[in-house]
Amino acid sequence: MTRIETFLVPPRWLFVRIETAEGLVGWGEATCEGRSETVRAAVEQLAELAIGRDPGRIEDLWQLLTNGSFYRGGPILASAVAGIDQALWDILGKRLGVPVHQLLGGAVRDRIRIYGWIGGDEPGGVAEAAAAARDNGLTAIKMNATPAFGKLATRAEVSAAVARAEAAREAMGEDGDVAIDFHGRVSFPAARTLIKALEPVAPMFIEEPVVPENSHLFGDLVAHTHLPIATGERLYNRQEFLPVLCAGVGVVQPDLSHAGGITETRKIASLADAHGALLAPHCPLGPLALAACLQVGFATSNHVIQEQSLGIHYNQGADLLDLVLDSSMLATTDGWLPRWDAPGLGIEIDEAAVRRADQSPHGWRGPVWQHPDGSYAEW
C-alpha cells in the first residue's frame, strides 16, 4: 500500500482511505465516538508500519498493527486498526472482484434483519417514534431504558422505565421487537431491580446492564433473569469477550469500528458460537461501518440482527446515506436488507464530498451528566 488518509466527517465519523500501488482504493471506518481525533493520530502512527507492505496479507498486517508495540490494546488502538482492517478487506474484494462475504467463506443467508433507534438519549415520545418506525418498515427497534438513573432504583424511576417500554411494545405489536439499552448508566443493584420489572414486556434483549468495567457481575445478572443479556460495544478483543461469554451472556455486540475490524470480529463471533451466543454487531455509526457489519453478517451463522443508524438522534447535519453514491444497497424491505454481491464492502463512497466535509472536521463529544447531588452520572 502506498497511502493512508483519514477524514473526520459529520456527524461524528472517521473514515480511512487506503490506496495501493496498482491504483485500488479501499475504505474503512475508524470512528470512536468522542475520541475520533485521537484515533486519527493513531492511524497516522500505524501508517508508519503499514505503508509499503502487501495489503493482501490482512491477518499478518492485523497482527503487526495490533501487537507491534509493547503497549497495546484499548479503544483507540483497536479502532485505528479496525478502520485500516476494513479498508484492506475492501481492497482485497475489489482486487478479486468479489464481495467480502465471499472471502469469509461465502454467504449463509440471503438477507439480514435490521433494527433502528428511537427515543433519544433521554427517552421520550417512544410510542410515536416506535409507530413511525413500524410504518417505515422496521420490525425491531432499540431504545434507552432510562435517562440518568439513580444509584438505587426508585419506584418512580422503575415505573417510568416500564411505562416507556410498554408503550413502545404496544406500538410495535406482537410480531415486532423492542430491545432495551441500559447504556451502562444503571448501577448493579438497580440493574437487578429494573431487569426484573421489565420481564413482562418481553424485550428482545437487555443491553449493557452494567459498565464493562464490571463485567465480572454478568453471571449474577444472567442468573437473575430469563431475558437475553447483551453486551460488547466497549469490549475490544476476543479475550475481553471470553469472561462475559463464560458468564452466560446470550448476545454479543462487538463494534466493527472498535473491536479490530472484520478480522477480529469474526474471531469473536466464533468464540461466541462456541458458547451458544448470538452475534448482533453494534453500529450506530456511518455507512462504511454498516457495510462491514453486513459483510460479516452475510457469512456468519450465529449472526441474528444488525443495528443501523438511519435517523438516529446523533445524526445532526448528516445521515447514514449522505456520503454514499448509490444508497440502494443499504435500502431495507420490510425490516430486512437483502444481500448484495458488489465487490469489496459493496458500497461506493462520494470521495469529493468526504474531502469537502473534512475541511471542517467535526469535534463530536458525548454529553457529561450529573446526579441531582452534583456527582458524576453515567451517560
Question: What percentage of the chain carries pLDDT values higher than 90?
Answer: 98
Domain with CATH 3.30.390.10 in the chain: 3-98
Mean pLDDT for 77-92 is: 98
Name which of 207, 214, 266 is nearest 62 in CA terms.
Answer: 266
What's the CATH number for 3-98?
3.30.390.10
Which residues, 6 or more positions from 365, have their beta carbon under 8 angstroms from its beta carbon? 34
The question of whether 183 is a catalytic residue gets the answer yes
Show the DSSP H helices in 58-154 as ranges.
Answer: 58-67, 75-96, 100-103, 126-135
Report the half-sphere exposure of 347 (CA within 13 A, side-chain side): 31
The reply to whether the predicted model has a pTM over 0.85 is yes
Per-residue pLDDT for 207 more than 90? yes
Question: What angle do the packed helices 36-50 and 58-67 form, to 10 degrees?
Answer: 120
- pLDDT reported for residue 316: 87
Query: What residue has cell string 459483510?
Result: 295
Sequence letter at residue 105: G
Active-site residue among 101, 258, 282, 362?
282
Mean pLDDT for 13-39 is: 97
pLDDT digits (tens, 9 = 90+) for 103-156: 999 999 999 999 999 999 999 999 999 999 999 999 999 999 999 999 999 999
Per-residue pLDDT for 231 more than 90? yes
The question of whether 362 is a catalytic residue gets the answer no
- Per DSSP bridges, beta strands 369-370 and 376-377 are antiparallel
- Asked whether the CA dihedral 340, 334, 201, 162 is positive or negative, the reply is positive
pLDDT digits (tens, 9 = 90+) for 251-305: 999 999 999 999 999 999 999 999 999 999 999 999 999 999 999 999 999 999 9
Per-residue pLDDT for 329 more than 90? no
Domain with CATH 3.20.20.120 in the chain: 102-345
Per-residue pLDDT for 317 more than 90? no
Q: What's the CA gap between 100 and 85, in Å, rounded? A: 12
- pLDDT reported for residue 238: 98
**Strands of the sheet with 25-29, listed across from one edge:** 3-9, 13-19, 25-29
Sequence letter at residue 24: L
Mean pLDDT for 215-235 is: 97
Mean pLDDT for 150-175 is: 96
Homologous superfamily of domain range 102-345: Enolase-like C-terminal domain (3.20.20.120)
- pLDDT reported for residue 57: 98
Question: Where does the pLDDT of residue 347 fall: very low under 50, low under 70, confident under 90, or very high at 90 and above?
Answer: very high
Beta bridge partners, 148, equal none
Show the DSSP H helices in the chain as ranges.
Answer: 36-50, 58-67, 75-96, 100-103, 126-135, 155-172, 188-198, 218-223, 238-246, 261-274, 287-298, 351-358
Rg (CA), the chain: 20
Dihedral angle at the C-alpha atoms of 324, 327, 332, 336, nearest 10 degrees? -60
- Per DSSP bridges, beta strands 3-9 and 25-29 are unpaired
Average pLDDT, the chain: 97
Q: What single-letter DSSP state applies at residue 255? A: B
Name which of 341, 340, 349, 282 is nearest 312 in CA terms.
Answer: 282
Active-site residue among 183, 258, 303, 362?
183
Between the alpha carbon of residue 344 and those of residues 12, 91, 192, 284, the distances in Å are: 24, 6, 44, 21
Q: What's the CA gap between 199 and 195, in Å, rounded? A: 6
Grid coordinates representing 64?
Answer: 503487526
Per-residue pLDDT for 336 more than 90? yes
Q: What's the CA gap between 333 and 136, in Å, rounded? A: 9
